[in-house]
Amino acid sequence: MAKANIPALGLGTFRLKGEQLMGSIHKALDLGYRHIDTAQMYENEETVGAALDAHEVPREEVFLTTKVWHDRLRHDDLLKSLQESVNRLRTDSVDLALIHWPSPDHQVPMDEYIGALAEAKASGLARQIGVSNFTVTQLEQALSVPGGEHIVTNQIEVHPFLTNRKVVEAVQRANLTVTAYMPLAVGKVMKDDTLKRLAEKYQVTPAQLVLAWLHGKDIVVIPSSTSEEHIKANKEALDLTLEDDDIAAIESLDRGERIADPDFAPDWD
């Protein structure tokens, strides 16, 4: 299978728009981030493109991900939507294009949209391709259809309260990269007593502790933040190494607590 070349830390942009998003991207780039994650559904690709355009870091040095929404999965529409995304992002291609969600109720056959995504790669619209929110069975199917051999990642929800172990292991077994969204469980990690206690031991924040835990598992993380202090701290977290007992303590917090669970989601593992 294809091996990804995705920077270990990215800036997530979900729910961020306008000046707030522009500021976040500029702070992140100033602090050395070179990976920005967006999506058609976030309705902020134009701002992401403008922010990258306005910053002195050359576009080719920034790894840019976007995702195709589930209402644009038909072959021609997928390619059209990706061209629209690239135009909004003020670039010639994205570094990674993902299928944001598998087609609800299999309305669009998987071979159709994975094949179209592979065509986007072949035509230069995307340098790498992948999927998001795919179950183990769906990932195996995606890898088996024509074009699936180019898939490099499955972007999924992973945090201490949802370790998503079965999917993580399946992705890594296939020699693909796991990308974790909502790694801080929308701030819930800051309130957990176990994480607070362990963070104190390492003299870091619970957020840094969790990012270090995920990084130690070879999982790419894309936390979202507007605070320069937090953006900087998130980057510094990747230098932290945790002891095995503390890793086990973090993983014992898994309670299957899923935050992203829309009504069109697949039957989760």
Residue 232: count of CB within 10 angstroms of its CB: 17
Domain ranges of the chain: 11-184+219-224
User: Which pLDDT does position 97 carry in this prediction?
Assistant: 98
Tell me how far the alpha carbon of residue 155 is from its chain's centroid: 5
For the chain, which ranges sit under pLDDT 70?
1-3
Q: For residues 41 and 182, what is the distance between their CA atoms, to the nearest angstrom? A: 16
**What digits encode the pLDDT tens for the residues 95-113?**
999 999 999 999 999 999 9
What is the fold of 11-184+219-224? TIM Barrel (3.20.20)
Q: For residues 155 and 132, what is the distance between their CA atoms, to the nearest angstrom? A: 4
SS3 at position 219: strand
pTM, full prediction: 0.97
Residues in the chain: 269
User: Which pLDDT does position 4 carry in this prediction?
Assistant: 76
From 109, 93, 157, 155, select the one nearest 130 (Cα to Cα).
Answer: 155
The string of DSSP letters for 149-191 reads GGEEEEEEE-BTTB--HHHHHHHHHTT-EEEEESTTGGGGGGG
User: Which pLDDT does position 3 carry in this prediction?
Assistant: 60
Strand 151-157 with 35-37, pairing: unpaired
Which residues are tagged catalytic? 42
